[in-house]
C-alpha cells in the first residue's frame, strides 16, 4: 500500500504564500497526479465516431466553406475525455476527417508533424508527396511524413473523404508544430513507388554502390494488396486473428517514427481479447460490423466508423460479420522511449 502523502492544505498559509511568491511549489501534494502507482490514470476516454453521422456534416462543410478558406476542410474527432474541440483523439494521436470535392486542390505545404491518410470514400482523389502522385483508393494508406511537401487534388466527379492521423499532439506539446506553404508541386510522370519499386513483398530495388535509399521509400500502401495478404494469413492462421503491420520496405521498421499502423481481419463471430498494452489506439473500420468493449464500455461499430481506446485499456473485439480494421497506435514512439509494455488479462 502506497503511503498517503501530505496535502497542500496541511501547510501553513504563510508558507504557501511564500512559496507562491518565490514561484515554486511542493512536489509531494502533486506527486500522485504525475506518478500514480502501478499504472497511468489516463484522461483519454473511449470515443466512437459513426461515419453515417459525420458524412452529412462534412458535405455541409463543403457547401459552407470553400477549400480556399479552409486550406484543409477537416472535422476533428475529439477525445470525449478532453471535450469537443480537443485536437486529440488520444494523448498522442490526432484524428480528423477530410473532404475534397471534384476539381478542388488543397495547397502545398510541409509541416513538422507526420500524417497518414486512410481513404474512406470516393474516387479520383490524389496526394502529391515530394513530386510523387499517389492515387487515393478506398482503404489505401498514404504517408505524408513530417518535412515532406504535399498537396491534394481531385480529378473525379464525386466527393472524396479520408481519415487523417497525425502525431500533432506531440509537436504541440513540444511547441514545435508549424507549417510552410508553397505552390503546387510539379508531378513526376510515372506511377508511384508502390506500383513500381515495391510492388511485391520481400522485393526491393537492387542495391548499388553509392545508392542513397530514401528515408520513406514507399508512400502508398494499396488496400487491395493488404486485404489479399490478410486473407491468406487467415486461411492458414489456425483461428488466430490475422494482423499485419505497415512497415518501411527497406528497413522493416514502422512507417513513421511515432505512429504505427496495423491491419486486422476478423472472421464472422470471431472474438479477440488482446493483452492490455501501454499504447493508446484508434481503430478505423474499413469494412464489416461488430462490437468492441473498451474498459467495460461497449461500442457498436460498422463500416467506415472510427473508435478509440486509452492506454492499458481492456479491449474485446467481436465481429458480427467478416470485418477489416486498421489500428493506429503509438507503439513506435513508446519503443523509442523504451517503455512499451504488455500486461496479461
* pLDDT, tens only, 159-187: 999 999 999 999 999 999 999 999 888 99
Q: Are 330 and 282 in contact (CB under 8 A)?
A: no
Percent of the chain at pLDDT > 70 equals 99
Q: Is the model's pLDDT at 241 over the cut of 90?
A: yes
> What grid cell was written down for 292?
468492441
**Predicted confidence (pLDDT) per residue in 99-126, tens digit:** 999 999 999 999 999 999 999 999 999 9
Is 85 domain-assigned?
yes
Residue 132 placed within a domain? yes
Q: Is the dihedral of CA 218, 183, 110, 101 positive or negative?
A: negative
> What is the pLDDT at residue 112?
97
In the block, residue with C-alpha cell 498514404: 142
Query: Could you tell me the pLDDT band of residue 190, with boundaries at 50, 70 and 90?
Result: confident
CB burial of residue 340 (10 Å; 0-12, 13-18, 19+): middle
Q: CA 89 to CA 94: how far, in whole Å?
A: 5
Question: Do 240 and 149 meet the contact criterion of CB atoms below 8 Å apart?
Answer: no
CB-based contact 32:5 (threshold 8 Å)? yes
What's the pLDDT tens digit per position in 288-301? Answer: 999 999 999 999 99
- The answer to the question of residue 3 being in a domain is no
The pLDDT of residue 60 is 97
Lowest mean pLDDT among 137-151, 166-180, 208-222: 208-222
Task: Say if 28 falls within a structural domain.
Answer: no
**CA distances to 93, 104, 110, 154, 319 from 181, in Å:** 23, 17, 7, 19, 43
Predicted confidence band at 1 (pLDDT cuts at 50, 70, 90)? low
pLDDT in tens, 257-268: 999 999 999 999
Give the SS3 label for residue 70: helix
User: DSSP secondary structure string, 18-50?
Assistant: HHHHHT---STTTHHHHS-SSS---S----EE-
Q: Per mean pLDDT, which range of 36-40, 78-82, 278-282 is the poorest?
A: 36-40
CATH number at residue 85: 2.60.120.10
Q: Which residue has the higher pLDDT, 59 or 1?
A: 59
Residue 137 clears pLDDT 90, i.e. is over it: yes
Tell me the chain's radius of gyration from C-alpha atoms.
22
Cβ atoms of 330 and 258 within 8 Å: the answer is yes
* Other Cβ atoms within 10 Å of 69 Cβ, number: 8
Q: What is the pLDDT of residue 237?
A: 81
**Number of folded domains that form the chain:** 1
The cell for 73 is 476542410
- In a domain, residue 227? The reply is yes
Q: Is position 138 within any domain? A: yes
Locate cell 528497413: which residue?
251
The verdict on residue 64 lying in a domain is yes
Residue 97 belongs to a domain = yes
Per the prediction, the chain carries an average pLDDT of: 95
Distances (CA, A) of 94 to 89, 117, 166, 259, 284: 5, 12, 5, 11, 13
pLDDT value of residue 214: 86
Q: Which domain holds residue 301?
A: 48-199+220-343
Give the separation between CA 340 and CA 325, rounded to whole angstroms: 22
Amino acid at each position: 500500500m502506497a503511503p498517503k502523502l501530505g496535502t497542500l492544505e496541511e501547510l501553513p498559509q504563510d508558507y504557501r504564500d511564500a512559496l507562491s511568491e518565490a514561484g515554486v511549489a511542493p512536489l509531494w501534494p502533486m506527486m500522485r497526479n504525475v506518478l500514480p502507482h502501478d499504472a497511468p490514470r489516463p484522461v483519454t476516454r473511449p470515443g466512437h465516431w459513426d461515419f453515417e453521422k459525420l458524412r452529412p456534416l462534412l458535405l455541409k462543410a463543403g457547401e459552407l466553406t470553400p477549400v480556399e478558406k479552409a486550406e484543409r476542410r477537416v472535422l476533428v474527432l475529439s477525445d470525449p475525455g478532453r471535450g469537443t474541440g480537443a485536437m486529440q483523439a488520444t494523448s498522442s494521436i490526432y484524428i480528423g476527417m477530410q473532404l475534397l470535392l471534384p476539381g478542388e486542390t488543397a495547397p502545398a505545404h510541409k509541416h513538422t508533424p507526420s500524417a497518414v491518410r486512410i481513404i474512406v470514400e470516393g474516387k479520383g482523389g490524389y496526394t502529391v508527396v515530394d513530386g510523387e502522385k499517389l492515387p487515393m483508393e478506398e482503404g489505401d494508406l498514404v504517408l505524408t511524413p513530417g518535412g515532406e511537401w504535399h498537396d491534394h487534388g481531385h480529378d473525379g466527379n464525386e466527393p472524396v473523404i479520408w481519415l487523417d492521423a497525425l502525431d500533432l499532439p506531440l509537436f504541440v506539446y513540444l511547441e514545435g508544430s508549424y507549417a510552410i506553404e508553397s505552390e503546387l508541386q510539379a508531378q513526376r510522370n510515372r506511377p508511384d513507388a508502390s506500383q513500381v519499386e515495391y510492388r511485391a513483398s520481400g522485393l526491393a530495388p537492387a542495391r548499388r554502390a553509392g545508392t542513397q535509399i530514401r528515408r520513406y521509400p514507399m508512400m502508398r500502401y494499396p488496400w487491395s494488396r493488404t486485404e489479399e495478404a490478410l486473407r491468406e494469413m487467415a486461411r492458414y492462421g489456425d483461428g488466430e486473428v490475422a494482423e499485419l503491420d505497415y512497415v518501411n520496405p527497406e528497413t522493416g521498421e514502422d512507417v513513421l517514427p511515432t505512429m504505427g499502423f496495423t491491419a486486422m481481419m476478423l472472421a464472422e463471430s470471431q472474438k479477440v481479447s488482446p493483452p492490455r498494452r501501454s499504447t493508446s489506439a484508434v481503430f478505423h473500420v474499413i469494412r464489416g460490423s461488430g462490437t468492441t468493449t473498451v474498459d467495460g464500455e461497449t461500442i457498436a461499430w460498422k463500416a467506415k466508423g472510427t473508435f478509440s481506446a486509452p492506454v492499458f485499456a481492456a479491449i474485446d473485439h467481436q465481429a458480427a460479420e467478416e470485418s477489416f480494421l486498421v489500428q493506429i497506435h503509438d507503439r513506435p514512439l513508446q519503443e523509442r522511449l523504451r517503455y512499451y509494455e504488455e500486461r496479461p488479462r
